[in-house]
Amino acid sequence: MAVNLQDDWAYQVLGRYFTLRNDLFFSSHAALPFLGYLIFRDRLANGVFLAFSVVLALAVLLARLHYSIDVAAAYFITYAIYRAEIHWLPAPGVSGTRRRVAPG
């Protein structure tokens, strides 16, 4: 059952500026927890973020909120952005050097 928020006053005031129509590519439902998996080095946090990412990916596929290519692309695009950030941007507070990832 879907909830219609378009008639809600909060949606009219704020919500319509934070949502887009037909925003299917790529699935941020799967991408954001996967980014958490890539960023955090703690073993427990990694497991939780990866599991949450897979559960959300399956949920949006089963609910037909995204196409399968949207969910699959989320993992590839997120990983590519993560690697590009490590390679091209300097570490915070350090000028002129590349960021080094802590051994995990």
Tokens at residue 74, please? 């989320």
Non-local CB neighbours of 79 within 8 Å, separated by 6+ positions = 34, 38
- For the four alpha carbons of 11, 14, 16 and 19, in that order, the dihedral sign comes to negative
Predicted confidence (pLDDT) per residue in 8-32, tens digit: 666 666 665 655 555 557 788 888 8
pTM (2 d.p.): 0.64
Predicted confidence (pLDDT) per residue in 42-100, tens digit: 899 999 999 999 998 998 888 887 788 888 999 999 999 999 888 787 766 666 555 55
